[in-house]
């Protein structure tokens, strides 16, 4: 509990056998009331590893895609504060405390992996990836004249339940570029938000997205198209009024 409110951690999992048990343990802080793992058709021993821990609630999402998996997590979680993160060893459970500290003043708290002081040696945040995330975030910031943004790809986020209810019916992305859609919907729906730096470590195994440079570029282009689509949609709505 945090200030007498329930805290849920949502971990999307696709073939995370190597680290899922460690992630569940790391995120099992005294203030965390439930850990939700959404298995997205894993073909390794992810499910068995989750069940062994006896600390997480396991659900399955058959629609393949990061966005579909997180949406399922949002639907299944029962907390007042909903926190998402990857279970691949890149994020630290203790950073939940940072997100919660800002949740008293903001409806949404975005993590950012662009502070070099918190990017650990071996983390998959090379110059091109860092520059790409920063550039796309700045495009979003410029297009919507919003608060400072520096990372569209960081999946460690917090959203209050009442804020989620304002945007969840507007989700359209089921794939890897779901993260910036959450940011865009927060902006468009005038939710209060802030971006704070979080630790970013070397992941266990190979990233399904950034482990392949061409796929990473493809996801980046989808993010740009999504930002432009929402910008034009809001402009058209303004003209129509």
Mean pLDDT of the residues in the chain: 94
Q: How is 159-218 classified by DSSP, letter by letter?
A: EEHHHHHHHGGG----STTHHHHHHHHHHHTT--EEEEE--B-PPSS--SSTTSHHHHHH
Region of poorest pLDDT, from 103-112, 119-128, 172-181: 119-128
Confidence of residue 213 (pLDDT cuts 50, 70, 90): confident
> In the chain, which ranges are continuous DSSP H helix?
20-27, 46-53, 66-76, 96-103, 127-144, 161-167, 178-188, 213-240
- Mean pLDDT in residue range 4-28: 98
- Mean pLDDT in residue range 100-129: 94
d(CA 112, CA 118): 10
8 Å CB contact between 4 and 31: no
pTM: 0.94
According to the CATH classification, is domain 7-240 in 3.90.550.10? yes
pLDDT tens digits along 165-208: 999 999 999 999 999 999 999 999 999 999 999 999 998 866 65
Q: With the CA atoms of 135, 137, 140 and 145 taken in that order, what torsion angle do they form, in degrees rounded to the nearest 10?
A: -100
Break the chain into its structural domains and give their ranges: 7-240
Confidence of residue 238 (pLDDT cuts 50, 70, 90): low
pLDDT tens digits along 56-100: 999 999 999 999 999 999 999 999 999 999 999 999 999 999 999
Counting every residue written for the chain, the total comes to 241
């Amino acid at each position: 509990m945090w200030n007498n409110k329930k805290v849920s951690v949502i971990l999307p999992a696709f073939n995370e056998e190597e680290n899922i048990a460690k992630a569940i343990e790391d995120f099992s802080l005294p203030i965390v009331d439930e850990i939700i793992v959404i298995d997205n058709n894993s073909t390794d021993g992810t499910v068995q590893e989750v069940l062994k821990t006896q600390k997480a609630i396991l659900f399955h999402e058959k629609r393949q895609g990061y966005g579909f998996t997180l949406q399922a997590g949002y639907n299944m979680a029962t907390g007042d504060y909903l926190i998402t993160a990857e279970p691949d060893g890149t994020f630290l459970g203790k950073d939940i405390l940072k997100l919660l500290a800002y949740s008293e003043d903001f409806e949404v708290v975005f993590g950012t992996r662009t502070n070099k002081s918190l990017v650990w040696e071996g983390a998959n945040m090379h110059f091109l990836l860092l520059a790409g995330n920063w550039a796309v975030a700045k495009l979003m910031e410029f297009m919507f004249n919003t608060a400072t943004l520096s990372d569209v790809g960081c999946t460690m986020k917090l959203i209050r339940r009442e804020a989620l209810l304002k945007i969840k019916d507007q989700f359209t992305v089921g794939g890897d570029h779901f993260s910036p859609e959450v940011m865009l919907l927060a902006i468009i729906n005038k939710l209060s938000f802030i971006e704070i730096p979080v630790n970013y470590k070397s992941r266990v195994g190979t990233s399904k997205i950034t482990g392949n440079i061409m796929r990473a570029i493809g996801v980046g282009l989808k993010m740009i198209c999504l930002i432009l689509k929402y910008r034009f949609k809001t402009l058209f709505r303004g003209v129509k009024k």
